[in-house]
Amino acid sequence: ELEKMESSECTEKNGTMGNDSRILVFVRLRPMAKKEKEAGSRCCVKIVNKRDVYLTEFANENDYLRLKRLRGRHFTFDALFPDSTSQHEVYTTTTAELVEAVLQGRNGSVFCYGATGAGKTYTMLGTVDNPGVMVLAIKDLFTKIRQRSCDGNHVVHLSYLEVYNETVRDLLSPGRPLVLREDKQGIVAAGLTQYRAYSTDEVMALLQRGNQNRTTEPTRVNETSSRSHAILQVMVEYRVKDASMNVINRVGKLSLIDLAGSERALATDQRTLRSLEGANINRSLLALSSCINALVEGKKHIPYRNSKLTQLLKDSLGGACNTVMIANISPSNLSFGETQNTLHWADRAKEIRTKACEANEEVHEVPESGTDQAKLLLELQKEN
Ligand code: ADP
Ligand code: MG
Protein backbone atom coordinates (compact mmCIF):
# COMPACT_ATOMS: atom_id res chain seq x y z
CA GLU A 1 0.00 0.00 0.00
CA LEU A 2 2.70 2.37 1.07
CA GLU A 3 4.70 1.85 -2.08
CA LYS A 4 1.68 2.48 -4.19
CA MET A 5 1.15 5.79 -2.50
CA GLU A 6 4.79 6.80 -2.78
CA SER A 7 5.03 6.06 -6.43
CA SER A 8 1.72 7.62 -7.35
CA GLU A 9 1.36 11.13 -8.71
CA CYS A 10 0.36 12.24 -5.23
CA THR A 11 3.67 13.92 -4.57
CA GLU A 12 3.26 17.25 -6.19
CA LYS A 13 5.44 20.26 -6.52
CA ASN A 14 4.71 22.96 -4.03
CA GLY A 15 4.06 25.56 -6.68
CA THR A 16 3.37 29.24 -6.39
CA MET A 17 1.80 31.39 -9.03
CA GLY A 18 4.33 34.23 -9.08
CA ASN A 19 4.61 37.21 -6.79
CA ASP A 20 2.29 39.66 -8.37
CA SER A 21 -0.82 38.29 -9.93
CA ARG A 22 -3.44 40.45 -11.46
CA ILE A 23 -7.16 39.91 -11.35
CA LEU A 24 -8.29 38.52 -14.69
CA VAL A 25 -11.28 40.35 -16.08
CA PHE A 26 -13.64 38.94 -18.71
CA VAL A 27 -16.78 40.34 -20.27
CA ARG A 28 -19.73 38.27 -21.42
CA LEU A 29 -22.34 39.71 -23.74
CA ARG A 30 -25.70 37.96 -23.60
CA PRO A 31 -28.05 37.55 -26.58
CA MET A 32 -30.70 40.22 -27.16
CA ALA A 33 -33.81 39.33 -25.15
CA LYS A 34 -37.23 39.08 -26.74
CA LYS A 35 -38.46 42.00 -24.66
CA GLU A 36 -35.58 44.15 -25.80
CA LYS A 37 -36.26 43.32 -29.45
CA GLU A 38 -39.94 44.12 -29.02
CA ALA A 39 -39.00 47.47 -27.51
CA GLY A 40 -37.17 48.20 -30.77
CA SER A 41 -33.68 48.19 -29.35
CA ARG A 42 -30.50 47.80 -31.34
CA CYS A 43 -27.16 46.36 -30.32
CA CYS A 44 -24.79 48.99 -28.92
CA VAL A 45 -21.93 46.65 -28.04
CA LYS A 46 -19.34 45.92 -30.73
CA ILE A 47 -16.81 43.24 -30.00
CA VAL A 48 -14.17 43.79 -32.67
CA ASN A 49 -11.65 41.15 -31.64
CA LYS A 50 -10.82 38.85 -28.71
CA ARG A 51 -9.94 41.76 -26.42
CA ASP A 52 -11.44 45.05 -27.62
CA VAL A 53 -15.00 46.18 -27.16
CA TYR A 54 -16.69 49.44 -28.19
CA LEU A 55 -19.95 51.04 -27.15
CA THR A 56 -21.82 52.79 -29.93
CA GLU A 57 -24.46 55.42 -29.49
CA PHE A 58 -25.80 55.40 -33.04
CA ALA A 59 -26.65 52.58 -35.41
CA ASN A 60 -23.83 53.02 -37.91
CA GLU A 61 -21.14 54.17 -35.59
CA ASN A 62 -18.18 52.03 -36.55
CA ASP A 63 -15.27 54.39 -36.84
CA TYR A 64 -13.27 52.67 -34.11
CA LEU A 65 -10.38 55.10 -34.27
CA ARG A 66 -12.79 57.87 -33.38
CA LEU A 67 -14.54 55.80 -30.70
CA LYS A 68 -11.19 55.01 -29.17
CA ARG A 69 -10.66 58.71 -28.54
CA LEU A 70 -14.06 59.17 -26.89
CA ARG A 71 -14.19 58.71 -23.16
CA GLY A 72 -15.82 55.51 -21.93
CA ARG A 73 -16.39 54.00 -25.37
CA HIS A 74 -13.47 51.67 -25.76
CA PHE A 75 -12.39 48.98 -23.29
CA THR A 76 -9.84 46.19 -23.34
CA PHE A 77 -10.17 43.00 -21.30
CA ASP A 78 -8.46 39.64 -20.92
CA ALA A 79 -11.11 38.12 -23.15
CA LEU A 80 -14.54 38.97 -24.46
CA PHE A 81 -17.33 36.47 -24.85
CA PRO A 82 -19.73 37.28 -27.72
CA ASP A 83 -23.36 36.20 -27.35
CA SER A 84 -22.68 32.94 -29.17
CA THR A 85 -20.21 31.74 -26.51
CA SER A 86 -21.14 28.45 -24.87
CA GLN A 87 -21.28 27.90 -21.12
CA HIS A 88 -18.46 25.42 -21.52
CA GLU A 89 -16.22 27.92 -23.24
CA VAL A 90 -16.86 30.48 -20.53
CA TYR A 91 -16.02 27.88 -17.89
CA THR A 92 -12.84 26.71 -19.63
CA THR A 93 -11.46 30.20 -20.19
CA THR A 94 -12.32 31.69 -16.80
CA THR A 95 -12.38 28.96 -14.17
CA ALA A 96 -10.76 25.67 -15.25
CA GLU A 97 -7.31 26.80 -14.12
CA LEU A 98 -8.63 27.82 -10.72
CA VAL A 99 -10.12 24.36 -10.23
CA GLU A 100 -6.68 22.89 -10.89
CA ALA A 101 -5.14 25.30 -8.35
CA VAL A 102 -7.76 24.47 -5.73
CA LEU A 103 -6.91 20.78 -6.11
CA GLN A 104 -3.39 21.73 -5.09
CA GLY A 105 -4.52 23.53 -1.98
CA ARG A 106 -4.76 27.10 -3.20
CA ASN A 107 -7.72 29.44 -3.13
CA GLY A 108 -9.54 30.93 -6.06
CA SER A 109 -12.61 33.00 -6.68
CA VAL A 110 -14.82 33.97 -9.57
CA PHE A 111 -17.24 36.91 -9.43
CA CYS A 112 -20.08 37.74 -11.76
CA TYR A 113 -20.82 41.44 -11.82
CA GLY A 114 -23.43 43.37 -13.77
CA ALA A 115 -26.90 44.90 -13.81
CA THR A 116 -30.01 42.86 -13.10
CA GLY A 117 -30.91 40.86 -16.20
CA ALA A 118 -27.39 41.03 -17.66
CA GLY A 119 -26.78 37.28 -17.29
CA LYS A 120 -24.98 36.76 -13.96
CA THR A 121 -27.10 33.88 -12.72
CA TYR A 122 -27.14 32.30 -16.18
CA THR A 123 -23.34 32.41 -16.19
CA MET A 124 -22.90 31.12 -12.64
CA LEU A 125 -25.74 28.65 -12.17
CA GLY A 126 -27.19 28.29 -15.66
CA THR A 127 -30.14 26.05 -16.46
CA VAL A 128 -30.66 22.29 -16.32
CA ASP A 129 -29.91 22.05 -20.05
CA ASN A 130 -27.11 24.59 -19.99
CA PRO A 131 -25.39 24.38 -16.62
CA GLY A 132 -23.13 27.28 -15.71
CA VAL A 133 -19.74 27.81 -14.09
CA MET A 134 -20.76 26.52 -10.63
CA VAL A 135 -21.93 23.17 -11.95
CA LEU A 136 -19.20 22.80 -14.60
CA ALA A 137 -16.53 23.56 -12.01
CA ILE A 138 -17.77 20.84 -9.69
CA LYS A 139 -18.09 18.39 -12.58
CA ASP A 140 -14.54 19.13 -13.66
CA LEU A 141 -13.32 18.87 -10.09
CA PHE A 142 -14.69 15.34 -9.73
CA THR A 143 -13.27 14.35 -13.13
CA LYS A 144 -9.84 15.62 -12.11
CA ILE A 145 -10.02 13.86 -8.75
CA ARG A 146 -10.95 10.59 -10.47
CA GLN A 147 -8.04 10.95 -12.88
CA ARG A 148 -5.57 11.13 -10.04
CA SER A 149 -4.54 7.76 -8.74
CA CYS A 150 -4.85 8.85 -5.12
CA ASP A 151 -8.56 9.45 -5.48
CA GLY A 152 -9.55 8.48 -1.93
CA ASN A 153 -7.50 11.29 -0.44
CA HIS A 154 -9.73 14.10 -1.66
CA VAL A 155 -12.76 15.26 0.27
CA VAL A 156 -15.13 17.85 -1.23
CA HIS A 157 -17.52 20.00 0.79
CA LEU A 158 -19.97 22.61 -0.50
CA SER A 159 -21.49 25.62 1.21
CA TYR A 160 -23.97 27.96 -0.44
CA LEU A 161 -24.88 31.21 1.23
CA GLU A 162 -26.61 34.50 0.61
CA VAL A 163 -26.00 38.06 1.73
CA TYR A 164 -29.18 40.08 1.58
CA ASN A 165 -29.68 43.39 3.36
CA GLU A 166 -26.56 42.73 5.44
CA THR A 167 -27.99 39.43 6.63
CA VAL A 168 -26.16 36.18 5.91
CA ARG A 169 -28.29 33.08 5.25
CA ASP A 170 -27.54 29.45 4.56
CA LEU A 171 -29.05 28.55 1.18
CA LEU A 172 -28.65 24.80 1.79
CA SER A 173 -30.51 24.91 5.07
CA PRO A 174 -32.61 28.05 5.35
CA GLY A 175 -33.35 29.28 8.82
CA ARG A 176 -32.06 31.86 11.19
CA PRO A 177 -29.45 34.34 9.95
CA LEU A 178 -25.83 33.28 10.42
CA VAL A 179 -23.35 35.16 12.54
CA LEU A 180 -19.90 35.93 11.12
CA ARG A 181 -17.02 34.99 13.33
CA GLU A 182 -13.28 35.29 13.05
CA ASP A 183 -11.26 32.10 13.45
CA LYS A 184 -7.79 31.03 12.43
CA GLN A 185 -8.87 30.40 8.84
CA GLY A 186 -10.33 33.87 8.53
CA ILE A 187 -13.93 35.02 8.75
CA VAL A 188 -16.49 32.23 8.75
CA ALA A 189 -20.26 32.03 9.01
CA ALA A 190 -20.95 30.09 12.21
CA GLY A 191 -23.09 27.00 11.69
CA LEU A 192 -23.02 27.13 7.90
CA THR A 193 -23.86 23.77 6.28
CA GLN A 194 -20.89 21.99 4.79
CA TYR A 195 -22.40 19.47 2.43
CA ARG A 196 -20.15 16.53 1.64
CA ALA A 197 -20.40 16.00 -2.12
CA TYR A 198 -19.55 12.68 -3.74
CA SER A 199 -20.60 13.21 -7.33
CA THR A 200 -21.79 15.80 -9.83
CA ASP A 201 -25.28 14.36 -10.27
CA GLU A 202 -26.61 15.54 -6.94
CA VAL A 203 -25.06 18.98 -7.23
CA MET A 204 -27.19 20.67 -9.92
CA ALA A 205 -30.41 19.85 -8.05
CA LEU A 206 -28.87 20.98 -4.80
CA LEU A 207 -27.79 24.31 -6.25
CA GLN A 208 -31.11 24.89 -8.03
CA ARG A 209 -32.91 24.32 -4.73
CA GLY A 210 -30.44 26.61 -2.99
CA ASN A 211 -31.03 29.29 -5.60
CA GLN A 212 -34.78 29.04 -5.00
CA ASN A 213 -34.06 29.82 -1.36
CA ARG A 214 -32.60 33.18 -2.31
CA THR A 215 -34.59 36.04 -0.87
CA THR A 216 -37.30 37.35 -3.18
CA GLU A 217 -38.27 40.98 -3.31
CA PRO A 218 -41.76 41.34 -1.81
CA THR A 219 -43.00 43.17 -4.87
CA ARG A 220 -41.69 40.63 -7.37
CA VAL A 221 -42.70 37.28 -5.99
CA ASN A 222 -41.39 35.14 -8.82
CA GLU A 223 -38.02 36.77 -9.14
CA THR A 224 -35.03 36.20 -6.96
CA SER A 225 -33.95 39.48 -5.57
CA SER A 226 -31.65 41.65 -7.56
CA ARG A 227 -30.15 42.71 -4.25
CA SER A 228 -29.03 39.32 -3.02
CA HIS A 229 -25.48 38.03 -3.37
CA ALA A 230 -25.05 34.25 -3.63
CA ILE A 231 -21.74 32.64 -2.75
CA LEU A 232 -20.90 29.02 -3.44
CA GLN A 233 -17.84 27.76 -1.60
CA VAL A 234 -16.20 24.55 -2.72
CA MET A 235 -13.69 23.24 -0.20
CA VAL A 236 -11.29 20.54 -1.31
CA GLU A 237 -9.25 18.75 1.31
CA TYR A 238 -6.33 16.72 0.14
CA ARG A 239 -3.88 14.53 2.03
CA VAL A 240 -0.53 13.89 0.50
CA LYS A 241 2.94 12.75 1.57
CA ASP A 242 6.04 14.74 0.76
CA ALA A 243 9.50 13.31 0.00
CA SER A 244 10.33 12.91 3.71
CA MET A 245 7.07 11.03 4.26
CA ASN A 246 5.41 13.82 6.21
CA VAL A 247 1.67 13.91 5.78
CA ILE A 248 0.57 17.21 4.34
CA ASN A 249 -2.99 18.35 4.65
CA ARG A 250 -4.00 20.78 1.95
CA VAL A 251 -7.25 22.67 1.80
CA GLY A 252 -8.15 24.64 -1.29
CA LYS A 253 -11.24 26.83 -1.46
CA LEU A 254 -13.01 27.94 -4.60
CA SER A 255 -15.58 30.72 -4.17
CA LEU A 256 -18.09 31.33 -6.94
CA ILE A 257 -20.03 34.52 -6.48
CA ASP A 258 -23.23 35.72 -8.14
CA LEU A 259 -23.30 39.37 -7.07
CA ALA A 260 -26.38 41.54 -6.63
CA GLY A 261 -27.44 43.77 -9.52
CA SER A 262 -24.99 46.64 -9.93
CA GLU A 263 -27.48 49.13 -11.38
CA ARG A 264 -27.58 51.42 -8.41
CA ALA A 265 -24.09 51.03 -7.06
CA LEU A 266 -22.19 53.61 -9.00
CA ALA A 267 -20.30 55.27 -6.20
CA THR A 268 -16.59 55.59 -6.73
CA ASP A 269 -15.55 57.54 -3.66
CA GLN A 270 -16.23 57.36 0.06
CA ARG A 271 -18.37 60.49 0.21
CA THR A 272 -20.87 59.42 -2.42
CA LEU A 273 -20.75 56.01 -0.84
CA ARG A 274 -21.97 57.27 2.52
CA SER A 275 -24.75 59.38 1.09
CA LEU A 276 -25.97 56.44 -0.98
CA GLU A 277 -25.96 54.13 1.99
CA GLY A 278 -28.49 56.41 3.61
CA ALA A 279 -30.68 55.85 0.58
CA ASN A 280 -30.68 52.13 1.34
CA ILE A 281 -28.54 51.11 -1.59
CA ASN A 282 -26.84 47.76 -1.46
CA ARG A 283 -24.24 48.29 1.20
CA SER A 284 -22.28 45.15 0.43
CA LEU A 285 -21.86 45.99 -3.24
CA LEU A 286 -20.73 49.52 -2.44
CA ALA A 287 -18.29 48.18 0.12
CA LEU A 288 -16.93 45.79 -2.50
CA SER A 289 -16.36 48.75 -4.83
CA SER A 290 -14.57 50.73 -2.15
CA CYS A 291 -12.36 47.72 -1.30
CA ILE A 292 -11.49 47.44 -4.96
CA ASN A 293 -10.66 51.14 -5.10
CA ALA A 294 -8.46 50.86 -2.02
CA LEU A 295 -6.72 47.79 -3.45
CA VAL A 296 -6.14 49.53 -6.77
CA GLU A 297 -4.71 52.58 -5.03
CA GLY A 298 -2.40 50.33 -3.02
CA LYS A 299 -3.81 51.56 0.32
CA LYS A 300 -2.61 49.90 3.52
CA HIS A 301 -6.07 49.79 5.04
CA ILE A 302 -8.66 47.95 2.98
CA PRO A 303 -12.15 48.52 4.42
CA TYR A 304 -13.27 44.87 4.47
CA ARG A 305 -15.18 45.37 7.72
CA ASN A 306 -17.70 47.71 6.08
CA SER A 307 -20.04 44.95 4.96
CA LYS A 308 -20.89 41.29 5.33
CA LEU A 309 -19.94 40.51 1.75
CA THR A 310 -16.49 42.05 1.98
CA GLN A 311 -15.83 40.32 5.31
CA LEU A 312 -16.69 36.99 3.73
CA LEU A 313 -14.57 37.71 0.67
CA LYS A 314 -11.54 39.13 2.46
CA ASP A 315 -9.35 36.15 1.59
CA SER A 316 -10.67 36.13 -1.99
CA LEU A 317 -9.77 39.67 -2.96
CA GLY A 318 -6.59 40.96 -1.44
CA GLY A 319 -5.15 37.76 -0.08
CA ALA A 320 -3.30 34.91 -1.65
CA CYS A 321 -5.92 33.98 -4.17
CA ASN A 322 -6.47 33.70 -7.89
CA THR A 323 -9.31 36.04 -8.71
CA VAL A 324 -11.44 36.22 -11.82
CA MET A 325 -14.12 38.77 -12.61
CA ILE A 326 -16.80 38.18 -15.23
CA ALA A 327 -18.71 41.31 -16.16
CA ASN A 328 -22.09 40.52 -17.70
CA ILE A 329 -23.70 42.95 -20.12
CA SER A 330 -26.82 43.25 -22.26
CA PRO A 331 -26.39 44.19 -25.94
CA SER A 332 -29.34 46.59 -25.98
CA ASN A 333 -28.89 50.33 -26.37
CA LEU A 334 -31.67 50.69 -23.77
CA SER A 335 -29.06 49.54 -21.23
CA PHE A 336 -26.27 51.74 -22.59
CA GLY A 337 -25.67 53.54 -19.27
CA GLU A 338 -25.62 50.38 -17.19
CA THR A 339 -23.34 48.65 -19.65
CA GLN A 340 -20.95 51.58 -19.62
CA ASN A 341 -20.88 51.55 -15.82
CA THR A 342 -20.27 47.81 -15.72
CA LEU A 343 -17.40 48.07 -18.20
CA HIS A 344 -15.93 50.99 -16.30
CA TRP A 345 -16.06 49.00 -13.03
CA ALA A 346 -14.51 45.98 -14.71
CA ASP A 347 -11.80 48.18 -16.18
CA ARG A 348 -10.95 49.36 -12.68
CA ALA A 349 -10.83 45.79 -11.34
CA LYS A 350 -8.08 45.00 -13.87
CA GLU A 351 -5.71 47.12 -11.81
CA ILE A 352 -5.98 45.07 -8.61
CA ARG A 353 -2.82 43.19 -7.76
CA THR A 354 -3.04 40.24 -5.42
CA LYS A 355 -0.35 38.64 -3.33
CA ALA A 356 1.56 35.52 -4.26
CA CYS A 357 -0.65 32.50 -4.25
CA GLU A 358 0.64 29.74 -2.00
CA ALA A 359 -0.87 26.44 -1.01
CA ASN A 360 -2.60 26.29 2.37
CA GLU A 361 -1.02 23.37 4.04
CA GLU A 362 -0.35 21.82 7.40
CA VAL A 363 2.58 19.46 7.73
CA HIS A 364 2.37 16.60 10.19
CA GLU A 365 5.69 15.03 11.07
CA VAL A 366 5.46 11.26 11.08
CA PRO A 367 7.68 8.73 12.86
CA GLU A 368 10.57 7.21 10.93
CA SER A 369 9.54 3.60 11.38
CA GLY A 370 7.93 2.02 8.37
CA THR A 371 5.28 0.22 10.39
CA ASP A 372 4.05 3.46 11.95
CA GLN A 373 3.81 5.05 8.57
CA ALA A 374 1.86 2.13 7.30
CA LYS A 375 -0.50 2.42 10.27
CA LEU A 376 -0.99 6.10 9.66
CA LEU A 377 -1.74 5.48 6.05
CA LEU A 378 -4.33 2.92 6.99
CA GLU A 379 -5.91 5.40 9.37
CA LEU A 380 -6.07 8.04 6.69
CA GLN A 381 -7.73 5.64 4.32
CA LYS A 382 -10.29 4.66 6.94
CA GLU A 383 -11.12 8.30 7.59
CA ASN A 384 -11.78 8.84 3.93
P1 ADP B 1 -29.04 38.35 -13.78
O2 ADP B 1 -28.75 37.18 -12.90
O3 ADP B 1 -27.80 39.12 -14.13
O4 ADP B 1 -30.10 39.23 -13.24
P5 ADP B 1 -30.01 36.33 -15.58
O6 ADP B 1 -28.83 35.43 -15.58
O7 ADP B 1 -31.16 35.92 -14.77
O8 ADP B 1 -29.58 37.82 -15.18
O9 ADP B 1 -30.41 36.55 -17.11
C10 ADP B 1 -31.60 37.21 -17.53
C11 ADP B 1 -32.27 36.39 -18.62
O12 ADP B 1 -31.43 36.28 -19.76
C13 ADP B 1 -32.58 34.98 -18.18
O14 ADP B 1 -33.80 34.59 -18.72
C15 ADP B 1 -31.45 34.17 -18.78
O16 ADP B 1 -31.83 32.84 -19.03
C17 ADP B 1 -31.15 34.92 -20.06
N18 ADP B 1 -29.71 34.82 -20.42
C19 ADP B 1 -28.70 35.46 -19.78
N20 ADP B 1 -27.52 35.19 -20.36
C21 ADP B 1 -27.77 34.36 -21.39
C22 ADP B 1 -26.95 33.73 -22.39
N23 ADP B 1 -25.63 33.90 -22.42
N24 ADP B 1 -27.57 32.94 -23.29
C25 ADP B 1 -28.90 32.77 -23.27
N26 ADP B 1 -29.72 33.34 -22.35
C27 ADP B 1 -29.18 34.12 -21.43
MG1 MG C 1 -29.58 36.79 -10.99
The three-point CA angle 104-251-240 to 5° equals 60
Which of 80, 85, 122 is the pocket-test mutation for ligand 1 (most atoms within 8 Å of CB)?
Answer: 122
Q: How many helices (H) and strands (E) does the chain have?
A: 14, 17
d(CA 259, CA 195): 22
Tell me the average pLDDT across 64-70. 91
Distance 371 CA to ligand 2 centre (A): 55
Mean pLDDT value across the chain = 82
Ligand 1 site, residue 30, Cβ cutoff 6 A: yes
Q: What is the ipTM of this complex?
A: 0.99
Distance 162 CA to ligand 2 centre (A): 12
Which ligand 1 atom sits closest to the C-alpha of 33? 12
121 lines ligand 1 (CB under 6 A): yes
Pick 281 or 206 by higher pLDDT: 206
Three-class DSSP category at 152: helix
Position 217 scores a pLDDT of 67
Mean pLDDT of 367-383: 45
Per-residue pLDDT tens digits for 257-310: 999 988 865 544 445 555 554 444 578 888 888 888 888 888 889 999 999 999
List, for residues 91-109, the tens digit of each pLDDT value.
999 999 999 999 888 889 9
Provide the pLDDT confidence category of residue 358 given band limits of 50, 70 and 90. low
> Per DSSP, what are the bridge partners of residue 322?
108
What percent of the chain has a predicted confidence (pLDDT) above 90?
A: 49
Q: What is the model's pLDDT at position 104?
A: 86
Residue 48 neighbours by CB distance under 10 Å: 13
Q: Is the minimum distance from the CB of 319 to ligand 1 under 6 angstroms?
A: no
**pLDDT, position 16:** 35
Distance 329 CA to ligand 1 centre (A): 10
Q: Does the beta carbon of 118 sit less than 6 angstroms from any atom of ligand 1?
A: yes
CA 121 / ligand 2 centre spacing (Å): 4
Binding-site residues from annotation? 114-121
The arithmetic mean of pLDDT across residues 8-21, rounded, is 40
Question: According to the model, what pLDDT value does residue 6 have?
Answer: 35
CA 99 from chain center: how many Å? 11
Residue 225 CB less than 6 A away from ligand 1:
no
* Cβ–ligand 1 contact at 229 (below 6 Å): no
28-40 per-position pLDDT tens digit: 999 999 999 999 9
Q: Is 331 in the pocket of ligand 1 (CB under 6 A)?
A: no
- Looking at residue 218, its pLDDT comes to 63
Is 250's pLDDT higher than 60? Answer: yes
Which pLDDT does position 52 carry in this prediction? 96
Higher-confidence position of 265 and 366: 265
Read off the pLDDT band of 361 (50, 70, 90). low
Q: pLDDT by residue (tens digit) across 158-203? A: 999 999 888 999 999 988 899 999 888 788 899 999 999 988 888 8
Buried b (16+ CB within 10 A) or exposed e, 16-44: ebeeebebbbbbbbbeeeeebeeeebebb
Sign of the alpha-carbon torsion through 98, 99, 104, 107 = positive
pLDDT tens by residue, 317-338: 876 678 999 999 999 999 999 9
Verdict on whether the full-model pTM lies above 0.80: yes
